[in-house]
Amino acid sequence: MSRLNLNSIFSWVDSHIIDYPTAMNLNYNWSFGSSAGFCLVIQILSGAFLAMHYAGEAHYAFSSVEHIMRDVKSGWLIRYFANGASFFFIVVYAHLFRGLYYGSYMGPRQQLWWSGAIIYVLMMATAFTGYVLPWGQMSFWGATVITSLFSIFPFIGKEVVMWLWGGFTVGNPTLNRFFSLHYLLPFIIAGLVFVHLGLLHKDGSNNPLGIKTKVANVNFYPYMYVKDLVAFFALLSALSVVIFYLPNSLGDPDNYLEADPYGTPAHIVPEWYFLPFYAILRVIPNKVGGILTMGGAIAIIFLYPLLNTSILRSANFRPIYAVVFWLFFADFCLLAWSGTTPVDDYFKIVGAVVSIGYFAFFVFGGLFVGWLEKTLAFRALVE
């Protein structure tokens, strides 16, 4: 029986990893998925070691992090591996933008796109709960602001917020809840990654041409794994530079102060990977409207495959869409910058413009550009 199981395992590895048919024209843009998997492994392992020394109690949480940094052997290294969360989001954003550019959201890969979007949402939840755990100033007030958003639910909003807090304010029960969720969510993400890979292998990878290439496929090993290996070492090198030379460059200075319920930071700003959505949230003066708009900014990622009207995949053959895509990329960067700016009339106007641009891409790029391409192609055939 054990021999049969081993044969099944070897057969699965052979068909899904070694002899897996891969389009021979894949470039390094297709290495972001494996890099994201590497980041997930780093986060799970470093999180497990940190949990061995972390005290999930409001009076000791901040001190326990300092204890890890100063007293635990190589604790500073394990702690700074938390920077891997930023790199995780970097490669996931690159993975997402690559999918948008090359049309990986189009049929028959809609389910693959939706599974990736679910993973992205769970990543955001995991990152938020983890940001609270050091119990610094920004952790405490970030938790207060974000959890308060759930109060918009009619009738049950206040009860939901109090359940999240475990009381009338953010405190020790809140920290315990977030610690538990932060430990659990990465394993759920890991399970969904296997679902994501299963859907990928069911429909096959997209490629820069956006066409089926069954006659131009090669085995993943030894041809394509080399590109993933190069991407792995590039990512490891960049992460090492940040860990050893710029370990605090991605953190907020206020979070190196212990949480003080009586002293609000001058500017409550989330981590950089939340900034585009934070900018959309605060551009709407109405609380309910801002939350719904921010939720819509995430929901529209799920809806985009349904909005698409183009018959072509790759932006290499869609010059109008390529221009719209790069404008969207610039708009997304401006949104992130807008989330760091003070709330005044000038920056609110900029935030409003780039927020409109964010939604315009999904509507204009999905519905109108495809229709325009078909119209121009038809006119070219007629002429």
- Whether residue 102 sits in one domain with residue 205: yes
324 in any annotated domain: yes
Same domain, residue pair 229 and 152: yes
84: amino acid identity, one letter: G
Residue 185 sits in the same domain as residue 227: yes
Q: Are 186 and 126 in contact (CB under 8 A)?
A: yes
**Is 1 among the domain residues?**
no
In a domain, 7, yes or no: no
- Residue 341: inside a domain: yes
CATH of the domain at 45: 1.20.810.10
Residue 187 has pLDDT above 90, yes or no: yes
Question: In the predicted model, what is the mean pLDDT of residues 319-345?
Answer: 90
* Of the residues 197, 231, 264, the one at which a domain ends: 264
Q: Yes or no: say if 269 and 252 are a contact pair by the CB < 8 Å rule.
A: yes
Instruction: Output the domain CATH number for residue 321.
Output: 1.10.287
Domain presence at residue 4 = no
Is 351 part of a structural domain of the chain?
yes
> Residue 287: CA atoms inside 13 Å, Cβ hemisphere, count?
8
Residue 16 confidence (pLDDT): 58
Residues 125 and 227 in one domain: yes
Q: What is the dihedral of CA 66, 71, 73, 77, to 10 degrees?
A: 20
Query: Could you tell me if 79 and 220 lie in one domain?
Result: yes
Judgement on whether residues 283 and 232 belong to the same structural domain of the protein: no
Q: Do residues 41 and 124 share a domain?
A: yes
- Only one residue has tokens 């296997």, namely 194
One domain for residues 200 and 279: no
Label residue 213 by pLDDT band (50, 70, 90). Answer: low
| Segment (H or E) for 122 | helix 110-132
pLDDT tens, residue by residue, 117-169: 999 999 999 999 999 999 999 999 989 989 998 888 888 888 989 998 988 88
Verify that 67 and 153 share a domain, yes or no: yes
Range of 361's domain?
269-382
pLDDT of amino acid 54: 94
Residues 167 and 78 placed together within one structural domain of the fold? yes
Residue 197 structure tokens: 């890979």
In a domain, 5, yes or no: no
SS (H, E, C) 175-244: HHHHHHHHHHHHHHHHHHHHHHHHHHHHHCCCCCCCCCCHHHEEEHHHHHHHHHHHHHHHHHHHHHHHHH
CB count in 10 Å sphere of residue 142 = 24
Read off the pLDDT of residues 251-289 as tens digits, 9 standing for 90 and up. Answer: 888 888 899 888 888 778 888 999 999 999 988 888 889
Among 247, 264, 281, the domain-final residue is 264
Active site residues: 201, 205, 227-228, 271
Q: How confident is the model at residue 382 (pLDDT cuts 50, 70, 90)?
A: very low
**Distance separating alpha carbons of residues 95 and 226, to the nearest angstrom:** 18
Q: Which of 51-60, 193-202, 203-212 has the lowest mean pLDDT?
A: 203-212
Among 238, 264, 290, identify where a domain stops: 264
Percent of the chain with pLDDT over 90: 53
- Enumerate the known binding-site residues: 95, 182, 196, 201
Res 378: pLDDT: 46
The lowest-confidence range among 47-56, 88-97, 353-362, 364-373 is: 364-373
Statement to judge: residues 240 and 292 lie in one domain:
no
**pLDDT, mean over the chain:** 87
In this structure, the answer to whether residues 238 and 378 fall within a common structural domain is no
Question: Number of structural domains, the chain?
Answer: 2
**Residue 12 clears pLDDT 70, i.e. is over it:** no
Angle at 317 between CA 314 and CA 322, to 5 degrees: 75
Lowest mean pLDDT, pick from 134-143, 200-209, 291-300, 351-360? 200-209
**DSSP 8-state secondary structure symbol assigned to residue 364:** I
Q: pTM (2 decimals)?
A: 0.92
> DSSP 3-state assignment of 41?
helix
Is position 6 within any domain? no
Burial class (CB in 10 A: 0-12, 13-18, 19+), 202: exposed
